[in-house]
A and B are shown apart, each in its own frame.
Chain A
Amino acid sequence: MDRITTIQVSAATRDRLFRLKFRKTYDEYLVELMDLVERLEAEGGRRPRSPGKVLAMSNAMREWTKRNVKWRNGRISEVDLDGR
């Protein structure tokens, strides 16, 4: 896969950006984004969650997900989305 330069965005990032800024001007969107960054920095910043923390946090959710899917012949055949 091609590497991107420091001023390029990937197609996936472009798509996410499009969704997030939908119905706003880029100026409004960027102001909102900068406000969020400044607020998080003021709160001491947010570190990415470690894989261990992700696993620990998600154990209860995994059980819940398992309860809401049914298997048939080795494949997931039914999902209950009302449980959330």
Chain B
Amino acid sequence: MADEKFLVLGELNRILKKKPVLVGGGAAELYSAGHFVTGDMDIYAERVELLPALENLGFRREGMYFVRGKIFIHVVGSNYEKRVDDILLKGTGSRVRVISLEDLIIDRLCSCKWWKHKADCEQALYLLNTFQDGLDRGYLEDRADEEEVRDTIDGLRAQIGPASRAERRK
């Protein structure tokens, strides 16, 4: 069974008119199919509609988090305006809306470059390396230019190149 926090997000996606969007580490956990693990979920959602729904699901407010057991939800905003993907959680029937893979990579790259967060550098590298054949490169590069992380993405790609060649030789 999928991680309970994603099932909660799936339930919110089902009951809310304005669908929440998962961003941050939770999105990295989902796209990596659980290779990365996060303790909380950062989401964009309309608070007026979300708060009663979370209460009905047994969440209570603790500072900036909504908490139920080990599930922590952090509402980081109400309007997410970049690309979003709609993803089915296999075996559950639940669907969740998630920051696009390209925008997630850019988000991790920003954290890597500007905040020097090593874990986010690793996540960007992993996602780029894993999904390099499926990414919308034009969009990714436009976003990299917008966020001034083109140098970081080029640096990671340079690291990936030799490894990929070594892999192809196997």
Inside 8 A of B87's CB, which chain A residues have their CB? 76-79
Q: How far is the CB of B1 from chain A (nearest CB, A)?
A: 7
- Across the A-B interface, how many residue pairs have beta carbons closer than 8 Å? 104
Q: A52 touching B163 by the CB < 8 A rule?
A: yes
| Interface: A66 (CB within 8 A) | yes
A-B contact pairs, 28 of them (CB 8 A): A12-B111, A15-B64, A18-B64, A22-B72, A48-B118, A51-B156, A51-B159, A52-B159, A54-B122, A56-B163, A59-B163, A59-B167, A64-B35, A65-B32, A66-B130, A69-B33, A74-B134, A75-B85, A76-B31, A77-B88, A79-B30, A79-B33, A79-B88, A79-B90, A80-B33, A83-B34, A84-B33, A84-B35
- Please report A residues at the B interface, Cβ cutoff 8 Å: 1, 10, 12-13, 15, 18-19, 22, 48-49, 51-52, 54-56, 58-59, 61-62, 64-66, 68-71, 74-84
